[in-house]
Amino acid sequence: MGKISAAITAVGKYVPDFVLTNKELETMVDTNDEWITTRTGIKERRILKGEGKGTSFMAIKAAEELIQKRGIDPKEIDLVIVGTATPDLQVAATAAFVASEIGATNAFAFDLEAACSSFLYGMSTASSYIESGRYKKVLLIGADKMSSILDYTDRTTCIIFGDGAGAALFEPNEEGLGFQDEYLRSDGIGRNFLKIDAGGSLLPASEETVKNKQHFVFQDGKSVYKYAVSNMAEVSAKIMERNNLEEKDVDWLVPHQANKRIIDATASRMGVDSSKVMMNIQKYGNTTSATLPLLLADYEKQLKKGDNLVFAAFGGGFTWGSIYLKWAYNS
Ligand code: UT7
């Protein structure tokens, strides 16, 4: 028996129906379609509407699509991880609710929070469980209802983010496909630049924090941009170097969708042509934990068994990194 690697064997996605366009945002804040398009690459984003629908609503839909596509019994799933910065509730793990709702009654479940790097870090976690031989089916979901933590009077943040969910199933592979290598980083300096000030243990919710709008996302965009653009490019170049990958060996760059300019800079540093760069930021904006699996779902039909994928992400904390994975199936 060969060495066990961790392969993605199915993907699923869900985005809400409601489309919030740049034009619509022009009526809400002092912005315009041209500024948003040229600065970020975003044209529209999806927003989850309706009372009583949290992040789990989208996570469940994405997971159900995956389960149906893969044709498995949810009872076979050993572990459900939900990467999210917007859990349904502060204490109860969203993943536990998702696992129960999808019928994964034999699984244990937990949330993983690393802001926009949640799914990337989750890939590392899921793969480690599979490679160790401890579990056979790990369901990793990236889901965020960013609209629940945005101030729609703040033009510096409300134009960027959107809601969505994506899921990937990790299973053992004996052909050497799947997860190959990772280079993951973090730096606590980042919490000055991208954060929600209140509602955590440092500054619990109070009338004052609500009045001061401290439960919304704050981002010093310029500073985050500087760190993101250099670090995402650096880790992606590093993972190529470490694995002796030349530009021609990379079939796809799978980059976190925060800003088209950051993605272009990463691709350029890697020497990868834009035709090999997955991109859907124009449709969904930055969906935080959901960007990477949404890309996989949108590009699934173009992926071939054996393709070399380089994932890269950068997010709050700061957290960032790159993962090299070989695609394991033709769809
Ligand atoms: O996913 C997690 C990690 N996050 C990121 O990677 C995001 C990184 N940051 C960015 O993507 C960019 O910094 C933004 C897209 C957030 C902003 O783009 P920028 O080119 O860095 O713009 P800026 O913040 O430097 O602002 C430039 C100007 C400012 O006006 P002045 O001071 O030059 O007169 C802003 O007030 O644009 C103004 N501005 C806007 N104008 C129209 C800021 N937001 C808007 C807006 N519409 N929505």
Q: Ligand 1: which of 24, 39, 186 to mutate, most ligand atoms within 8 Å of CB?
A: 39
Q: Degrees (nearest 5) of the Cα angle 271, 275, 280?
A: 110
* Residue 272 confidence (pLDDT): 96
The answer to whether 256 is a known catalytic residue is yes
Q: Ligand 1: which of 149, 161, 196, 222 to mutate, most ligand atoms within 8 Å of CB?
A: 222
**pLDDT higher than threshold 60 for residue 254:** yes
**Do 59 and 112 meet the contact criterion of CB atoms below 8 Å apart?**
no
Burial (CB count <10 Å: 0-12, 13-18, 19+), residue 166? buried
The answer to whether 280 is a known catalytic residue is no
Paired with 233 in beta bridges are none
Nearest-atom number in ligand 1 for the CA of 221 is 13
Backbone φ and ψ for 106, nearest 5 degrees, come out as -100, 0
Paired with 11 in beta bridges are 168
- Nearest residue by C-alpha to atom 35 in ligand 1: 156
pLDDT tens-place string over residues 72-123: 999 999 999 999 999 999 999 999 999 999 999 999 999 999 999 999 999 9
- Give Cα 252 distance to the centre of its chain: 16
Mean pLDDT, rounded, for 140-145: 99
Confidence at 1, pLDDT banded by 50, 70, 90: low
Distance CA 214, CA 96 (A): 28
Q: Which residues contact 177 (CB under 8 A, 6 or more apart)?
A: 5, 7, 305, 306, 326, 327, 328
Taking the centre of ligand 1 as the mean of its atom positions, its distance from the CA of residue 223, in whole angstroms, is: 10
Taking the centre of ligand 1 as the mean of its atom positions, its distance from the CA of residue 155, in whole angstroms, is: 9
pLDDT, the chain, mean: 97
Residue 79 CB neighbour total at 10 angstroms: 24
Q: Which architecture does CATH list for 180-326?
A: 3-Layer(aba) Sandwich (3.40)
Domain boundaries, the chain: 5-176, 180-326
Q: What is the pTM of this model?
A: 0.97
Considering only residues 1 and 113, tell me which one the structure prediction assigns the higher pLDDT.
113
Same fold, 5-176 and 180-326: yes
* Residue 74 confidence (pLDDT): 98
* Residue 2 confidence (pLDDT): 72
pLDDT tens-place string over residues 208-230: 999 999 999 999 999 999 999 99
pLDDT tens-place string over residues 21-61: 999 999 999 999 999 999 999 999 999 999 999 999 999 99
- Determine if the peptide bond prior to 108 is cis (ω within 30°): no
**Do 189 and 224 meet the contact criterion of CB atoms below 8 Å apart?**
no
- Nearest residue by C-alpha to atom 46 in ligand 1: 31
Confidence at 64, pLDDT banded by 50, 70, 90: very high
Please choose, from the candidates 193, 247, 200, 244, the residue with its C-alpha nearest in 3D space to the C-alpha of residue 223: 193
Which residue among the candidates 22, 158, 173, 256 is catalytic per the annotation? 256
- Nearest residue by C-alpha to atom 13 in ligand 1: 221
Percentage, residues of the chain above pLDDT 90: 99
Q: Which residues contact 247 (CB under 8 A, 6 or more apart)?
A: 270, 271, 272, 273
Distance CA 81, CA 70 (A): 18
Q: Degrees (nearest 5) of the Cα angle 45, 315, 192?
A: 115
- Nearest residue by C-alpha to atom 1 in ligand 1: 258
Q: What is the CATH number of domain 5-176?
A: 3.40.47.10
Q: Which residues line ligand 1 (CB under 6 A)?
A: 31, 35, 39-40, 116, 155-156, 159-160, 221-222, 224-225, 228, 258-259, 262, 286, 314-315
- Nearest residue by C-alpha to atom 14 in ligand 1: 221
106-119 in b/e form (b: 16+ CB < 10 A) is ebebebbbbbbbbb
Taking the centre of ligand 1 as the mean of its atom positions, its distance from the CA of residue 255, in whole angstroms, is: 20
The answer to whether 286 is a known catalytic residue is yes
